[in-house]
Amino acid sequence: MNKLSQFTIGALLALGTVTAAQAGTLDDVKKKGFVQCGVSAGLAGFSAPDDKGNYSGIDVDVCKAVAAAVFGDATKVKFTPLTAKERFTALQSGEVDLLSRNTTWTLNRDTAQGLSFAGVTYYDGQGFMVRKSLGVKSAKELDGASVCTETGTTTELNLSDYFKSNGLKYTVVALGSNSEAVAAYDSGRCDAYTTDASGLYATRIALAKPDDHMVLPEIISKEPLGPVVRQGDSQWFSVVKWSLFALVAAEEYGVTAANVDEQKASSANPEVKRLLGAEGEFGTPMGLPNDWAYKIVKQIGNYGEMFDRNVGAGSPLKIDRGINARWNKGGLQSAPPFR
Ligand SMILES: N[C@@H](CCC(=O)N[C@@H](CS)C(=O)NCC(=O)O)C(=O)O
C-alpha cells in the first residue's frame, strides 16, 4: 500500500467514516427483508444445492438461524455460492451480509482482512486422502507426492508448512474450486487430495469408487470453521454470534425443535426461560424480538439436531461428534450464560 492510501485510510478511520460505512447491517437486512449469505458451492453436509437449487447443510442452517432470529422466519435468506478465493471480497464489498462457508478462523483473517469471526460452527482439522493402491499408510510417507487442493485456502498453506517441517518434497496442484480439485484427484492427476477432514468424508462418498480410497491418520492442523462478518459492526456481530450460541445453549438445556413450545410455556429452568424469551429482555438490546432464540430452535432445532441431520449420525457422512460434542460431554462446543 502506498503512503497516500495509508494516510487516507488512517484519516477515514480517525473520522469514524470507515466504521460508520460498515455499520448498520442489521438495519440493511431488515429493510431488504432477507439475509444474503455466502456459502460453499457444493460441500455435502456443509452447503450443497439439490436439483431444485435449494441449499442445505450445517453452514446453511447457520444462515437460516440468523434469518429466524431477525425475521422469525428461517426462509428469509438468499444464498451466494462462493469459491474459497472469492469469499472474503464478497463479504468485504457488502455483496453478502454474512459468510458461512467452512471458513477457518485465523489471526490474519480476523485482523488484517477486516473481518470478524463470530464463533465456531464446526471444529475441524486438515487431513489427506490417497488411493489404497498407492500403498501409503501415513502422511509422512508422501515424500515426492503430488497433492491436489483448492486455491485460496488455509489447506494450501498448511500443506506447505507440513511438508517443509517434515523435510518432505511435494508438488501442489491447486485448483479454483473443490469440484475441480476432486476431479483432478479422481482422474489420477494427483497422488493425494487434501482438505479439512470433514471435506474428506464429503468427498470420498462422491468419488467414482469410494472404497478404493483411504483417509490417512494424520490431522495436520486446527481448522475452527465458523461464520464471519465485516469488522466494525458490533450489533450485527452480536446477532450472528448469539444465534450460534442459542443453538449450542438449547442443546445443553435439552431444548429441541419438538419440545420448544412446551419448554417456553412451562420450563422450571430460569436459563431456559431467558433463552426462549419467556423472561427478561434479551433481544431488544441487540435489535431483535425477545423470542429470537425460540424462533431459531423452533425452526432449526438445537446444535445437536443440526449437527446430526447434516453431518452426523442422521446424514450420509456419519461423522462422530468428537470435539464438536458440548463442553460437558467432553467436547468444545459451549455457549456463555444467557443472563
Ligand atoms: N477451511 C479452509 C478450507 C476451505 C475450503 O474452501 N475448502 C474447499 C475444499 S473442501 C471447499 O470447501 N470448496 C468448496 C467449493 O469449492 O465450493 C479455509 O477456510 O481456507
Structure confidence at residue 23 (pLDDT): 72
Q: What are phi and psi of 55, to 5 degrees?
A: -85, 145
Q: How far apart are CA 189 and CA 207, in angstroms?
A: 14
The Cα-based distances of 213 to 125, 133, 205 in angstroms read 19, 8, 10
CATH architecture of the domain 3-123+225-323 equals: 3-Layer(aba) Sandwich (3.40)
Structure confidence at residue 321 (pLDDT): 97
**What are the mean pLDDT values of the chain's consecutive 10-residue runs (339 residues total)?**
40 42 85 98 94 96 99 98 96 98 98 98 98 97 97 96 97 93 95 96 89 96 98 98 98 98 98 97 97 98 98 96 97 98
Answer yes or no: are the C-beta atoms of 324 and 333 closer than 8 Å: yes
Structure confidence at residue 22 (pLDDT): 54
Structure confidence at residue 12 (pLDDT): 43
Specify the fold of 126-221: D-Maltodextrin-Binding Protein; domain 2 (3.40.190)
pLDDT tens string 14-66: 444 444 345 799 999 999 999 999 999 989 999 999 999 999 999 999 999 99
- How close is the Cα of 122 to the center of ligand 1, in Å? 13
Structure confidence at residue 113 (pLDDT): 97
Please tell me if the CB atom of residue 102 comes closer than 6 angstroms to any atom of ligand 1: yes
Write b or e for each residue in 19-53: b if 16 or more Cβ atoms lie within 10 A of its Cβ, otherwise e: eeebbebbeebeeeebbbbbbbbbbbbbbbbeeee
Helix (H) or strand (E) holding 301, with range, is none
Structure confidence at residue 3 (pLDDT): 40
Q: Where are the domains of the chain?
A: 3-123+225-323, 126-221
Structure confidence at residue 281 (pLDDT): 97
**pTM: predicted TM-score of the whole model, two decimal places:** 0.92
Please tell me if the CB atom of residue 121 comes closer than 6 angstroms to any atom of ligand 1: no
Mutate to test the pocket of ligand 1, among 109, 110, 155, 311 (most ligand atoms within 8 A of CB): 155
Answer yes or no: are the C-beta atoms of 301 and 256 closer than 8 Å: yes
Structure confidence at residue 52 (pLDDT): 94
Do 126-221 and 3-123+225-323 have the same topology in CATH?
A: yes
